[in-house]
Structure 1
């Protein structure tokens, strides 16, 4: 624990963006790249740096290179908000690279909530962003989130052309609002979702461990089946997942509308998968899903099915 003198006097839950279906432009808003990584709050309290995930888990030991980079910053006390990311050879953030332990990780900073004795939660984003830019020196492993364009529609075109996951639009006049907010809005270019794993099918042919994962999302407090994914797995991933599944096996399906599948093993809905896919069908099922990895920075209850008429 840092000393009382060094300790930031509060802890926060991250401000979260609300998904919207179409790009837009509003005066007084900024448009940033949406990264495909892990959301992290970084507390610098003297020489001590603590990294906290969006659901409050300590990730300090997981991203040691980010800790070392933040420790180099001049500010004695600092609370930054951002995303730990890994980039491919084209400069695109890829969640899969974090899953395989890529050493080329960076911390993309997009907000500053506390800086050298100043509580910035109630200041507008314009001031917080300036504080973040001032705090983040040219230290290897740290970067400011990239603004795409002044116009939201142009920003979306750039995100689509470059192959980014999407964009996040932010109201420059907004304070830091913990939890989901309409002052930050995200627009996706590529379809990815976090979905709950509710079971798996038996393997076929030469494949080992399991065939496909059964996926679901919550709708009105009930877990609904949205499809199965059988691609995106290496042999090591199949084995690792199977080990995680074994203590979660249960006899009853966790879905209110289980699929008509034979030879299914059901699981307690505790694990969350990151899935890319082509689109949602009209009946809210996945089309052409691919497994990207597991997420541990979100509770299963937070995984929500898109409302009818929005897909």
Structure 2
């Protein structure tokens, strides 16, 4: 436990979802393995609006979830999207300039990156009246949400918060060092607490 505590976020049970530009210069959603994620154009549209407010190309990190489960998320992005339409909610937890991410990460502390992300999300209107053609309102703001966080200061508080999330059928917690930079590799600055391994906190990339 870092001196001064950790930021704790709910661990959403979905797929890691990254927003950045491909080699063709077009912004897309990607899996953590670098595969493009199709079937979530409503999310992509909202992130492009957030990026427009920032005034620079962004790298955005989050977890995309369909129907609240990993199984439904996997089914949708592997084959369900081929039937047409869009699905999923993106839970955002990190942001930086895309140039920083391409250089290996950001030295800016997590707490400052999270504040930047919160500000960008809060500036977005609750809805966009000029929906994309054929979207039927799927681009509403609810498809992109900021992951809430809370401060925890000892093991007992961690387990209490984890039990609260488990009682709501959540997967667990992510514990993050608020002063840590963003490093594009596995690091002990992010720790995962899951019900199957409570007490065995796992480093997460």
**TM-score, structure 1 length as denominator?**
0.46
CA distance in 1 between counterparts of 2:145 and 2:114 reads 13
Deviation at 1:25, TM superposition (A): 8.5
Q: Structure 1 residue 42 and structure 2 residue 27: aligned?
A: no
Match of 1:140 in 2: 142
CA distance in 1 between counterparts of 2:149 and 2:13 reads 15
Q: Structure 1 residue 127 and structure 2 residue 112: aligned?
A: yes
Q: Structure 1 residue 65 and structure 2 residue 42: aligned?
A: yes
Change (3 A) 1:51 1:104: closer
Match of 1:86 in 2: 66
User: Deviations along 1:267-297, whole A, 9 cap, x unmatched?
Assistant: xxxxxxxxxxxxxxxxxxxxxxxxxxxxxxx
Q: Structure 1 residue 96 and structure 2 residue 102: aligned?
A: no
Q: Structure 1 residue 161 and structure 2 residue 144: aligned?
A: no
In the alignment, is the contact (CA less than 8 A) between 2:18 and 2:29 conserved in 1? yes
CA distance in 2 between counterparts of 1:32 and 1:82 reads 12
CA distance in 1 between counterparts of 2:2 and 2:109 reads 19
CA distance in 1 between counterparts of 2:28 and 2:7 reads 28
CA distance in 1 between counterparts of 2:36 and 2:144 reads 19
CA distance in 2 between counterparts of 1:72 and 1:123 reads 23
SS state at 1:164 partner: coil
C-alpha RMSD over aligned residues: 2.9
As a proportion of its length, which structure holds more helix? 2
Give structure 2 stretches of 5+ with no counterpart.
127-140
Deviation at 1:58, TM superposition (A): 2.2
Q: Which has the higher contact order (CA 8 A, sep 6+)?
A: 2
As a proportion of its length, which structure holds more strand? 1
Q: Structure 1 residue 105 and structure 2 residue 88: aligned?
A: yes
**TM-score, structure 2 length as denominator?**
0.67
CA distance in 1 between counterparts of 2:194 and 2:17 reads 20
Match of 2:136 in 1: none
In the alignment, is the contact (CA less than 8 A) between 1:30 and 1:170 conserved in 2? yes
For the pair shown, which has the larger CA radius of gyration, 1 or 2? 1
Change (3 A) 1:152 1:113: same
Deviation at 1:152, TM superposition (A): 2.1
Q: Which stretch has the larger CA shift, 139-148 or 106-115?
A: 139-148
Deviation at 1:147, TM superposition (A): 2.5
SS state at 1:72 partner: helix
SS state at 1:131 partner: helix
Change (3 A) 1:154 1:27: farther
Change (3 A) 1:27 1:163: farther
CA distance in 2 between counterparts of 1:33 and 1:105 reads 17
